[in-house]
């Protein structure tokens, strides 16, 4: 066993070194262009066709072009989504039956932990970074990100982070097993004390991986703050900054204050585990971890939800035939959420027996933070009200976002009320609440963005009908799955268990059924995106959504239009004006 583990680690290290070596062979190349130039050999922006160009793969390893990096983030996020989705499907099937049937309880706990961490840190943050990297420089009229190479480094920290987080699954030995701490990593369990199996190195690797992903997010956030402050085109004043950039700016501020704290807390935890320190061991140690974790953890949920709100605020008006209602309300309320999200963390700790005076204060601020969220919801609804609505797939996902966000938000406000939380804490109600937001809202907005900008990043159009199938399967599936969870919570079903009392069987089976709908919808989406990328109708105008008609045509489409024009005039491959991230690139595989 011992030997096996070391062998596996050696192989892992070897693969890593080979990758580094491959990258270094390009070293001359990356010396020869300035940071503002786009990535070495970065002609065209299609992924997946790299084999058509010699050296194509190397291009993806060396690129510093914000659009290429956006594509890499997107690919990464999608892969993580598929992995996290597969994990939860196994869990949901196990839960179709009250006993321990398909998998062991410990394996269930491993999947639970990895599902949560994968979805939040390896899907959520990266898929947002995909959009922000690709589009923010285009929309604010910047040549590229302020620090293109830091941008590339931030991305390339993520694959090793994923390997570390999944190491317990990837290295099948007795002493490296997957973490079973849940994403909250509460001590003393995560400190590895007692007779459990959480002292194993798999947990340490997971913590290191999570730390690495935090470093990546922090580097990215600094880059976005610098870019939005200093690289805007002259016309893009603060009054002209688009809503998506505002949400990314706010998100970056949150990351800057939240992630380093998580990093420090995890270093303390690692020290407790490996070097005999006692940060979280003594009296109050467990509550200390919870304070540190949730001071990061609550801002984290807004780190994940603000940019999707930005995407919806950006896309939804374009299919309502009018501008966003109360644009500045949305901007200011985004900023308000940013500040207040640091003042509510202990609403996750109401049931721990902290001082009632403190609890009351956290409740008050939690009530206050619901206002800006509600304001946004009213703005979206008012934008659509009497508008000329076009129910395209991205629009459907935006409407789904609003609908699901309302349910997620209202259940959240209930949880923020101490007496209610004392009843519902640690039940499936909480799971239902936050999944309405993370799946029903964040993922929906992500997919709205993927559909809306699909013509830009692939040059083609997806199949409309499959898009609608995807949406409806997901809308129905999400509501079946997570509403059943809310009811389960009312019934007293505790969260984080692989088995349950027979009285909960019906609702659990309903939830599993809903999850299967989500799975089918996901397959349809994957098929649609791949097949359309390969053979969908080629986009010929820079305005595939007819935005000009309503005077809602924006900068990234205008850039796309220019790109299409260039392609027509010089017909393809060779580009010599590759001096910025904004104007070069042709269509590939055409």
Partner 1 sequence: MAAKIFDKETILDLTVNIIPLGIIGFFVVVFAVYDPFGYDPLASAISFGLLLVPLVALAALTYISGKAIAGDEKRSEVFLAGQATVPGSQTLEEYEAQAEPDHEPAELTDDESAEDAETEPTAQNTDD
Can you give the binding site for ligand HEM, defined by CB under 6 A? 184, 301, 304-305, 347-348, 366, 369-370, 373, 409, 412-413, 415-416, 421, 425, 430, 433-434, 437-438
Residue 92 contacts Cu ion per CB under 5 A: no
Beta carbon nearer to partner 1, 145 or 205: 145
Under rule CB under 5 A, how many of the chain's residues touch Cu ion? 1
Between residue 328 and residue 387, which ones bind partner 1 under the rule CB under 8 A? 328-329, 331-333, 335-336, 338-340, 342-343, 355-358, 360-362, 364-365, 367-369, 371-372, 375, 386
Q: How many CB atoms lie within 10 A of CB 368?
A: 14
Residues 296-325 as x/- pattern, contact with partner 1 by CB under 8 A = ------------------x----x-xxxx-
Residue 298 contacts Cu ion per CB under 5 A: yes
In whole angstroms, the minimum distance from the beta carbon of 550 to ligand HEM comes to 30
In whole angstroms, the minimum distance from the beta carbon of 67 to partner 1 comes to 17
The phi-psi region of residue 80 (left if phi > 0; otherwise alpha if psi is between -120 and 50; otherwise beta) is alpha
Burial class (CB in 10 A: 0-12, 13-18, 19+), 458: buried
Query: Of 38-46, 78-86, 430-438, 548-556, which segment contacts partner 1 by CB under 8 A?
Result: 548-556
Contact 163, 209 (CB under 8 A): yes
- Token pair, residue 467, equals 């898009």
Instruction: Give Cα separations from 122 to 4, 81, 219 (angstroms).
Output: 28, 8, 15
What's the distance, CA 126 to chain centroid? 5
Between residue 278 and residue 297, which ones bind Cu ion under the rule CB under 5 A? none
Beta carbon nearer to ligand HEM, 36 or 422: 422
Beta carbon nearer to Cu ion, 298 or 425: 298
Q: Which residues contact 504 (CB under 8 A, 6 or more apart)?
A: 98, 488, 491, 493
Beta carbon nearer to Cu ion, 296 or 319: 296
Go through 13-22 and write b for each residue having 16 or more CB atoms within 10 A of its CB, e for each that does not: eeeeeeeeee
Burial class (CB in 10 A: 0-12, 13-18, 19+), 226: middle
Q: Which residues contact 356 (CB under 8 A, 6 or more apart)?
A: none
In whole angstroms, the minimum distance from the beta carbon of 366 to Cu ion comes to 7
Write out the DSSP string of 191-203.
GT-TTSSTTSHHH
Residues 507-546 as x/- pattern, contact with partner 1 by CB under 8 A = ------------------------------xxxxx--xxx
Q: Which residues contact 81 (CB under 8 A, 6 or more apart)?
A: 119, 123, 127, 443
- The phi and psi torsions of 538 (rounded to 5 degrees) equal -75, 135
Under rule CB under 8 A, how many of the chain's residues touch partner 1? 73
Q: Which residue is nearest to ligand HEM (CB)?
A: 412
In whole angstroms, the minimum distance from the beta carbon of 350 to ligand HEM comes to 6
Contact 402, 323 (CB under 8 A): no
Between residue 122 and residue 141, which ones bind partner 1 under the rule CB under 8 A? 139-141
Residues 560-589 as x/- pattern, contact with partner 1 by CB under 8 A = ------------------------------
Beta carbon nearer to ligand HEM, 38 or 132: 132
Residues in the chain, overall count: 590
List residues near Cu ion by CB under 5 A. 298
């Amino acid at each position: 066993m011992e030997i096996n583990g070391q062998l596996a680690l050696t192989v892992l290290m070897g693969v890593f070194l080979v990758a580094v070596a491959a990258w270094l062979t390009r070293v001359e190349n990356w010396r020869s262009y300035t940071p503002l130039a786009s990535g070495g050999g970065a002609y065209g922006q299609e992924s997946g066709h790299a084999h058509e160009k010699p050296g194509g793969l190397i291009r993806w390893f060396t690129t510093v072009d914000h659009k290429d990096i956006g594509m890499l983030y997107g690919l990464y996020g999608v892969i993580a989504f598929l992995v996290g989705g597969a994990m939860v499907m196994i869990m949901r099937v196990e839960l179709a039956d009250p006993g321990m049937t398909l998998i062991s309880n410990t394996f269930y706990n491993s999947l639970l932990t990895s599902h949560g961490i994968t979805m939040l840190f390896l899907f959520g943050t990266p898929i947002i970074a995909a959009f922000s990297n690709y589009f923010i420089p285009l929309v604010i009229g910047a040549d590229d990100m302020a620090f293109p190479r830091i941008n590339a480094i931030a991305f390339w920290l993520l694959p090793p982070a994923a390997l570390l987080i999944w190491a317990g699954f990837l290295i099948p030995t007795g002493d490296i097993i997957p973490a079973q701490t849940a994403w909250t990593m509460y001590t003393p369990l995560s400190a590895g004390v007692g007779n459990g199996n959480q002292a194993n190195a798999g947990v340490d690797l997971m913590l290191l991986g999570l730390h690495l992903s935090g470093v990546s997010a922090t580097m990215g956030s600094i880059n976005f703050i610098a870019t939005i402050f200093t690289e805007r085109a002259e016309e893009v004043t603060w009054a002209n900054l688009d809503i998506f950039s505002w949400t990314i700016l706010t998100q970056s501020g949150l990351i800057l204050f939240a992630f380093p704290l998580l990093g420090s807390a995890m270093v303390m935890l690692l020290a407790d585990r490996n070097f005999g320190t006692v940060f979280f061991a003594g009296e109050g140690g467990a509550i200390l971890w919870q304070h540190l974790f949730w001071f990061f953890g609550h801002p984290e949920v807004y780190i994940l939800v603000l940019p999707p709100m930005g995407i919806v605020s950006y896309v939804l008006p374009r299919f309502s035939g009018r501008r966003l209602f109360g644009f500045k309300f949305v901007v200011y309320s985004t900023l308000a959420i940013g500040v207040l999200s640091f003042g509510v963390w202990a609403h996750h700790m109401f049931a721990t027996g902290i001082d009632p005076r403190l609890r009351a204060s956290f409740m008050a601020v939690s009530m206050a933070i619901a206002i800006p969220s509600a304001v946004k919801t009213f703005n979206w609804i008012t934008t659509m009200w009497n508008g000329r609505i076009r129910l395209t797939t991205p629009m459907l996902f935006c409407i789904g976002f609003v609908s699901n966000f309302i349910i997620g938000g209202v259940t959240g406000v209930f949880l923020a009320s101490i007496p209610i939380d004392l009843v519902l804490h640690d039940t499936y109600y909480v799971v239902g609440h936050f999944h309405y937001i993370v799946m029903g809202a964040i993922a929906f907005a992500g997919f709205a963005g993927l559909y809306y900008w699909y013509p830009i990043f692939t040059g083609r159009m997806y199949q409309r009908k499959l898009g609608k199938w995807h949406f409806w399967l997901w809308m129905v599936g999400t509501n079946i799955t997570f509403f059943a969870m809310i009811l389960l919570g009312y019934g007293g079903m505790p969260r984080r268990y692989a088995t349950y009392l027979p009285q909960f069987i019906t609702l659990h089976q309903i939830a599993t059924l809903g999850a299967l709908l989500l799975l089918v919808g996901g397959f349809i989406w994957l098929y649609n995106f791949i097949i359309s990328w390969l053979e969908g109708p080629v986009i010929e105008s820079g305005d595939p959504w007819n935005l000009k008609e309503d005077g809602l045509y924006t900068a990234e489409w205008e850039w796309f239009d220019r790109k299409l024009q260039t392609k027509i005039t010089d017909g393809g491959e060779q580009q010599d004006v590759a001096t910025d991230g904004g104007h070069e690139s042709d269509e590939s595989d055409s």
